Amino acid sequence: MTQALEVEQSSDKRLEAEETQQETEECITRQDLPPPLPPPRDWKRLYVIVSLTYANFWMASAFSLQAPFFPREAELKGATPTQYGFVFSVFELVIIIMSPIYGKMIPRVSPKFLITSGVLVGGIACCAFGSLDYVPAGTPYIALAFVVRIFEGFGAASLMTASFTIIAATFPDTVATSFSLMETAFGLGLIVGPTIGGALYQVGGFVTPFVVNGGFLLLGFLILSFLLPQTDAERPSGSRNLFGFLFDGGIISYTFSIITCLLFIGFNSATLEPHLRQFNLTPVILGVIFVITGAIYALTTPIWGKICDIGANPLLINVTGSILVCIGLLFIGPVPFFQFNATVWTVVGSLVVIGFGLSAKLVSSFVGALQNTVLRGFPDNLATYGMVSALFSVACSTGAFIGPSLGGLLLDTTGYRMGTVIIFALEAGFLGLLLLYILFGALKKKSDKEACERDALLPRSVARRSYSYSSV
């Protein structure tokens, strides 16, 4: 018995020695090998972020490119502020119409196809806009400007709707942070558009900014074709309850929040340059002032996205953003009942405050809409992401369509200062409705909690009867 035990112990020691030697050899081998590549899923996410960041950056630049110089050029061609305001806003009208169509197509058509085709169309249309300098003044100029902007709208709607869908499908655990990165790219595009547009206009005239920006979009078409992977998310079949999705207090609140954000951005793009003419600024300085809101927006969206991802209530973040926007609107004109005149620094300071507010509202609105939809029982899949993405695109474009149109009309009739009063009234009205919705939601939650606690104290048969009466 003792001899057998000794044999077994010596065998165990020999096995331990062999295992130790094998681990040492493996460790040496691992040190000689190059570091392992990231798993395929990480490479796919990297490709998605790089390609979509590039596309959204240059599409946003195409949208904001002409803000520092197009109003003056259009007036030289015989256009009124109302007419060139509609040239700005028809871009958004097309997105309003096309985004629900693209959203409906997403479960059946590859999001990659929508993105690449959208960037291709947007790049060609951006280059074509530069050729308007050779069009005769009057009706032909305005008509062709409308046509080119309509095609730009087709491309932007396709890119925006599919981009948000791919982000939600690829980054399900960090939707807010990932979405905020896309919004940062868009905000940086808003920065580069007016600044570089103003500089290139000063150097090479009207054509140069559009050809350069359009060329980068066409290059983006090639980059997207190779880098952007196909989305492997589930493609569900069957109908979706669109009315059930839309007719909810939370969804309506987030939708109006997005509309008011883009309404101000559109209003500003059409009216800020005439407001700043009193300061005799160069096109480059004008471009810098135009991008202040976009710069703050781009820098702060990741912060708001991280706050949403760690569990903050999107509605409360929305309220914070709306208050900041209201403060900025009071001083940017300033409103007529303030007894001081505008200076460059009051305009700049107001744009900074408004940029903080817009980033809080937009990020929290997208995240809140997605959370609200899934919590109400909609499937957590590509079809639902498509609906939320289409809603976001439509709401953005509705605000951006109303903004320049209303801005041109107000500039013609009341002037910039009184126009900011109208925009302030709209934002303050939305803030009041949002606070009422939050208050009613809190009261309803408290009432439901008290009802549950009361039913828990009742005998089971009585509690069952009370539920049956409440459902009648």
CATH at residue 388: 1.20.1250.20
Percentage above 90 pLDDT, the chain: 14
Q: Are residues 259 and 212 in the same domain?
A: no
pLDDT, one tens digit per residue, over 212-222 is 999 999 998 98
Residue 466 belongs to a domain: no
Domain containing 103 equals: 42-229
The total number of structural domains in the chain stands at: 2
For residue 259, is it within any domain? yes
Do 203 and 334 belong to one domain?
Answer: no
**pLDDT (tens digit per residue) in 184-204:** 677 677 667 777 888 888 888
Residue 152 domain-assigned? yes
Q: What is the DSSP string of 256-291?
A: HHHHHHHHHHHHHHHHHHHHHGGG---HHHHHHHHT
Indicate the pTM of the whole model.
0.66
Tell whether 26 is covered by a domain: no
Q: Based on the fold, state whether residues 218 and 316 are members of the same structural domain.
A: no
Q: In the listed set 229, 259, 277, which residue is the last one of a domain according to the structure?
A: 229
In a domain, 434, yes or no: yes
Preceding amide of 107 cis, omega within 30:
no
Task: Give 66's DSSP letter.
Answer: T
* Mean pLDDT estimate for the chain: 78
Is residue 189 domain-shared with residue 50, that is, in the same domain? yes
**Do 119 and 266 share a domain, yes or no?**
no
Q: Do 221 and 296 reside in the same domain of the chain?
A: no
More confident site: 448 or 463 = 448
pLDDT at 387: 76
Domain boundary among 178, 207, 229: 229
Same domain, 90 and 224: yes
pLDDT digits (tens, 9 = 90+) for 318-327: 999 999 999 9
Q: Is the pLDDT of residue 119 over 90?
A: yes
Following DSSP, what letter does each residue of 400-452 receive, concatenated?
A: HHHHHHHHHHHHHHT-HHHHHHHHHHHHHHHHHHHHHHHHHHHHHHHHHHHHH
Last residue of a domain, one of 229, 256, 279: 229
Lowest mean pLDDT among 95-104, 173-182, 235-244, 276-285: 235-244
Q: Model confidence over 366-391: pLDDT tens digits?
A: 888 888 888 888 777 767 776 777 78
Query: Looking at the structure, do residues 214 and 74 belong to the same domain, yes or no?
Result: yes
**Quick check: is 468 in a domain?**
no
pLDDT at position 318: 92
CA pair distance 241, 244, nearest whole angstrom? 5
Same domain? For 204 and 274 the reply is no
pLDDT at position 322 is: 94
Q: What is the residue whose two structure tokens read 């940062």?
A: 184
Residues 248 and 201 in one domain: no
End-to-end CA, the chain: 82
